[in-house]
Amino acid sequence: MNPLVTPAWLAERLSGSNIVVLDATLPPVGVTPTVDTSAPYLERHIPGAVFFDIDALSDHSTPLPHMLPSPEAFSQAMSSLGVSDQMTIVVYEQEGVFSAPRAWWMLCTFGARDVYILDGGMHAWTTTGLATESGPVSRESATFRATFNPDAVKDFAQIQRMIAEHAQIPAQILDARSSGRFTGAAPEPRPGLSSGHMPGAINTPFTELAENGRLKSAGKLREYFAAKGVNLELPITTTCGSGVTAAVIALGLEVAGAKSISLYDGSWAEYAQRRQAAIEKTG
């Protein structure tokens, strides 16, 4: 299933009782002071959209950023937002292709059956001439029953096994960070972390999957992954700095037709902290 929908598609369904729209804009990492993404949401959003705060909805029992919460915590949070796992859910962000895929991945990983991303986000919506509204949005509570899909997520131990078995089985770990951080030539935005990459990883900077604020077409994505030596028929795991832009790669793979996709939730924020983790630098 292609998870991307157009503004026209959403506009036709927006008044339906079984659809909910989520603004999942997340502040960029390493920018000081932190960008307040809730303020632009309150100023202007798609009618009826509620704010999906990725930071608030992540697991706060760990120092690692943006980790998945427990199914119980996610169920409670979604229910309070008025989101049911049986609804049609459309996610967007205010600009570019950065954080909405993480919200899409979280919802899919917890069993939501009908989840889409608005192609082009708020920019596409407004340039099409469609109406917006301002102020907070409250919805009646709903029932979200999270069902965790363990095949969608990799942990550190699994990543270590993939790296160790790389000689026999292609690991296909796709790293969404910039080429400078991947090679080790540029520093990590989070203090105390070494840059570099996992042995055998393939650098696929998430910015290369988009053009003009939208994800590239399925054909262009297939060409891109083929040029990187990625086999869409074999299992693929995505990673990044904290698990957010790894979801951009996961989305691109989904659109391109990859057969088996998982995401390393701890990503580089966890991996680079581990003493037993091998780090390679080529820059």
Q: Which residue numbers are catalytic?
A: 240
| DSSP secondary structure of 48-86 | T-EE--TTTTS-SSSSSTT----HHHHHHHHHHHT--TT
Tokens representing residue 177 in the block: 């960070």
| Closest among 214, 181, 188, 210 to 281, alpha carbons compared | 181
Sheet holding 202-203, edge to edge: 153-154, 261-264, 236-239, 173-175, 202-203
| Closest among 28, 7, 6, 1 to 207, alpha carbons compared | 28
Contact at 8 Å (CB) between 69 and 86? no
C-alpha span between 162 and 29 (Å, rounded): 28
